[in-house]
Amino acid sequence: MDQTAVQQEAGDPAIARLGNLEVNFDTYHVFIAERPVVLSYQEFELLRAFVSNIDHIISADVLTRALWQATGHTYVRRLNVVVHRLRAKLLNSRPYQIESVRGRGYGLLTMR
């Protein structure tokens, strides 16, 4: 199976497997190397955006609209905090990590 496969079968939850990271979109469960990772709702929704756009940078405006239906400096600062917390929780995920691209945004990128 492809490392970045998102599978959906009749009656089964949508599950994304990205290296040792597994995300169940129906149950909001996340595992790294089969160990559970506890995420807040906002962290999970941010991860959903990243997984849906794997190896792509997403602008801060797009992410703040997805999380809070708003944009602006205050929301970008909130986004920075959520990204920081999520990055710390996904520290052991391989081969993907959250990257910041100054002036562009964030993304879940394959480590080089």
What percent of the chain has a predicted confidence (pLDDT) above 70? 88
DSSP state of 94: S
Q: What pLDDT sits at residue 17?
A: 93
Architecture of domain 6-110: Orthogonal Bundle (1.10)
Number of residues that this document lists for the chain: 112
List the domain boundaries for the chain. Answer: 6-110
What pTM was computed for the model? Answer: 0.86
C-alpha 107/C-alpha 90 separation (Å) is 13
pLDDT by residue (tens digit) across 31-60? 999 999 999 999 999 999 999 999 999 999
More confident residue, 104 or 10: 104
Mean pLDDT for the chain?
A: 89
C-alpha 55/C-alpha 109 separation (Å) is 4
